[in-house]
Amino acid sequence: MTTAAHSSPAVQEEPVRVPPHDLEAERSLLGSMMLNRDAIGCVLSTIARNESAWFYRPDHRKLFEFLLDMYDDDQPMDLVVVRNELQRRNLLDEVGGVPYIIRLAESVGSWVNAEYYARIVRDKGLLRDVIRAAGQIAEDAYAEAENTGILLDKAEQRLFDVTERRVSGQAVTLSDLVCQINEQLQTRGDQYLTGLPTGFYKLDELTSGFQPGDFIVVAGRPSMGKTAFGLSVAEYMAVNDHRPVVFFSMEMSKMQVGHRVLCSRSRIDSQKVRRNRLNDEDERLIADTCHQLKDAPLYIDDTPGMSILELRAKARRLKVQHDIQAVFVDYLQLMHCPGMAKEGRQQEISLISRGLKSLGRELDIPIIAMAQLNRAVEQREGNRPRMSDLRESGAIEQDADLVLLLHREEYYHSPDRVEEEVRGKAELIVAKQRNGPVASIKLVFDRHCTRFDNLSPVPESGYIPPSGRDDAPF
């Protein structure tokens, strides 16, 4: 009796996966650059000097850097000059020798498509960066060496860094910066705002608007109007200036925030709305306001006790999905930082503050954070706030580019004893401005509809809001 031979199944090896690349595009790009130096100027807007790694072949990277050196030295560009210069620098063999240089020059008929070839090379390089980032994320996840929230934040940051490399910045000379600034001044005309308008004329005059990348702190004691001020600015940006913004509310629900905005915009007593005591005129105003707000790009997130990692992740997503132009946080001390409870609250607030500041730089948008002041204000004669009154304030003072302190003297008096000169008045103290003066700005506060307004309906400077309306709601 014979037994059938049992052959072990053949082990199938997985095919080796080659990273994305396009050698033909690389050759065509380098050939274009050798044909005409103007091609190099076009290419540099897509692939910078420090981004030669986007070329797949090492000899292509070296040749790319060499051609940029020739361009910087203002040397003429043709096949003979390139060959002679490579020989002089002993680089000819490293880039494939004369036959390969000739092949590159003959691989393209015209240099005019150089920028198109550069985009192909860049995109293939970006795909390799994505693969590399995904590998690092997988390694970190398998290692489990850090808190899950921190790992997720790092993962999102790695992927965001890859996508941002398409428009990444690089070191520039002072002369380039001066030229750019001069061009901006020439095209600005009589519009002096360089940042986002707030709707408060004197604040815009003082700051030229909320600047991209700035970390802005709006501080005050409880019930002083921090949320009302933040919502007033957010509403103006979204409704009047049609800019997408997000308001992270950790103190109120999204329905409460919506109620605040509706009452503030329509200037109807919030108690009348809450108790359903509206007359025909009120209902008409509510309907008109709903029509104004229905297309406003104001996004509201009411996740309570949000961590800095969650907020940064959500802000990045909103930037990609809706191109948000500003982030509002209400309020800073209600946030937490995973794994920092043992380090003390002051250290935790420091990390949150730095996290918000870096988020503004990363997304190139202003971050406006409401913050609480300590009780020292109420123990001081005059009750006027100071920057040192910020709770756990050390890092907040240091990180903030702009610190605004809200003060309403009316708050410290009983309703029946409020003097007329302080009734309904508010003061916005610009306590710190990294790139401008400090001052005190007078505002009006309507506590019935929790709304701040300009003290004067028409600005003394003649500044007209971006909407072009003299009767703008602020």
Positions annotated as catalytic residues are 251
Q: Which helix (H) or strand (E) holds 177?
A: helix 174-188
Name the burial class of residue 16, with classes exposed (0-12), middle (13-18) and buried (19+) by CB atoms within 10 angstroms of its CB.
exposed
User: Is 216:395 a contact under the CB 8 Å cutoff?
Assistant: no
Rounded-to-5 percentages of helix, strand, coil across the chain = 50, 10, 35
SS3 (DSSP) at 462: coil
225: left (phi over 0), alpha (psi -120 to 50) or beta: left
Residue 160 CA to residue 181 CA, distance in Å, equals 28
For residue 159, count other CB atoms closer than 10 A to its CB. Answer: 16
User: Is 465:197 a contact under the CB 8 Å cutoff?
Assistant: yes
Q: Which residue has the tokens 């009983």?
A: 414
List own/partner pairs for 82-85 with CB under 8 A and 24 or more apart: 82/34
SS3 (DSSP) at 425: strand
Which residues, in sequence order, are bridge partners of residue 369? 217, 329
Residues near 353 by Cβ (< 8 Å), separated by ≥ 6? 215, 332, 395, 396, 399, 400
Name the burial class of residue 249, with classes exposed (0-12), middle (13-18) and buried (19+) by CB atoms within 10 angstroms of its CB.
buried
